[in-house]
Amino acid sequence: MRLDIDSSISSISVKEINMKKLFQYVYKNGPVSKQELSINLDLSFPTVNQYLKKFEEIGAIIQYGTFQSTGGRKAAAYICNSSHAYSIGVYITRLFYIITIINLIGEQIFSRKYIKTFEATEDYGEEMNNDINEVIVSSKIDICKIKGIGFSIPGILKNDDENIVVQFAPSLPYKNWSFDIISKYCNFPFIVDNDANLGGFCEAWEDNFKNSFAYIHIAGGVGGTIIIDGKTFLGNNNIIAEFGHMIVEPHGNTCNCGRNGCLETYISTRVLSDNLNISLETFFEELNNNKEYRKIFEDYLDFLCIGISNIRLILGLDVVVAGEITEYLIPYEDLIQKKLSQIDILDSDKYFRFSKIKRENASSRGAALRVIESYLDQI
């Protein structure tokens, strides 16, 4: 069963927005009193009561003692009940998948990387679902509290009522494969989305859905998403923010998308690993002592900065660098900043930063958070 997710702004009613705000406020600021909620969210006391009652009925918010009295009755304190619900995120890539479990308030309960080469086969789907079931059993979570699974795919999805087809996933060696190979073994409600969209959603969640930014996700492929005031900008079709497929070199490297000179061919993690027949870890371990690697990395950073600068010039947004590469690039932040300031003669602001989720599981966390969001939407 697929979970329905409609992230268009118009579909969300004022009541839903206010309920979400109340939940987010309790999540970020709990323990809180009714009075604090009423004042800070600009909601009447009866409305706060009504929303709190709904959340208490389903056990999502609980009373947690009282505040010190300043005269009169002590005010009740409210917090989110983190163990009320759980969700699972699965980030699928060419060489591995990551399974992550989070609780209602987005805290990570479990995360593990499984080294398995992707195949568009039912055996692969069955094996993945066996691993998911094993994780659930070993984490000892009440299975009834799992609200669903979010799957993250490094590709473009055609998502109609009948079927989900992965039309184009350049980093996976298959085209137009049906997601049925995985979903038919899945015993939970599920969602499927692009890895960069989900990573961006995770970043927006960490920001409490307040900010706008462009998000470039760098792994075996390079994708992106655009977040405006905490919401994913959807554009007019399903091909959007494909930052990796901006052509940056006419007649350049051949890209998996069939074109030449795409940014992805210069800044994907493959450039620093597969293309050299080594792992990403090995590349960065040996970088300082290897002249050839230093030259490759210098070129890599040049193209990365061209990409970041182009995104900024077009969108005028902060640019967040995320994905598998993040933890390796952090020591070079000053160097990247220096290169950017040499290119950016029109722009003197610091607009580039790394994702708040430094590890490679941002996308599986994002997938799990989308399930939680969908669950909260139903409240």
Residue type, 10: S
CB closer to Zn ion, 6 vs 299: 299
Backbone CA torsion sign across 83, 364, 370, 77: positive
Burial annotation 7-26 (CB, 10 A radius, 16+ → b, else e): beeeeeeeeeebbbbbbbbb
Question: Residue 341: which H helix or E strand, with range?
Answer: helix 333-343
CB closer to Zn ion, 37 vs 262: 262
Cβ at position 265, least distance to Zn ion in Å: 7
Strands (E) across the chain are located at: 61-66, 76-80, 86-92, 96-103, 108-115, 146-153, 156-159, 164-168, 175-178, 190-194, 213-218, 222-228, 231-232, 318-322, 352-354
Cβ at position 299, least distance to Zn ion in Å: 18
Cβ at position 218, least distance to Zn ion in Å: 14
Write down the residue that tokens 């009169």 correspond to: 72
Cβ at position 67, least distance to Zn ion in Å: 57
Contact 127, 189 (CB under 8 A): no
The interface region with Zn ion, picked from 97-105, 214-222, 259-267, 307-315 by CB under 5 A, is 259-267
Question: Please, which residues have CB within 8 angstroms of residue 353's CB and are 6 or more apart in sequence?
Answer: 318, 319, 320, 321
The interface region with Zn ion, picked from 54-62, 132-140, 250-258, 271-279 by CB under 5 A, is 250-258
Contact pick of 198, 255, 306, 340 for Zn ion (by CB under 5 A):
255
Cβ at position 239, least distance to Zn ion in Å: 11
The interface region with Zn ion, picked from 139-147, 224-232, 249-257, 321-329 by CB under 5 A, is 249-257
Question: Per CB under 5 A, does 257 bind Zn ion?
Answer: yes
Question: Per CB under 5 A, does 156 bind Zn ion?
Answer: no
CB closer to Zn ion, 147 vs 245: 245
Distance CA 22, CA 34 (A): 10
The 229-248 contact track toward Zn ion, x by CB under 5 A, reads ----------------x---
Tell how far CA 368 is from the center of its chain. Answer: 9
How many residues interact with Zn ion (rule CB under 5 A)? 5
Cβ at position 255, least distance to Zn ion in Å: 3
Query: Which positions touch Zn ion (CB under 5 A)?
Result: 245, 255, 257, 259, 262
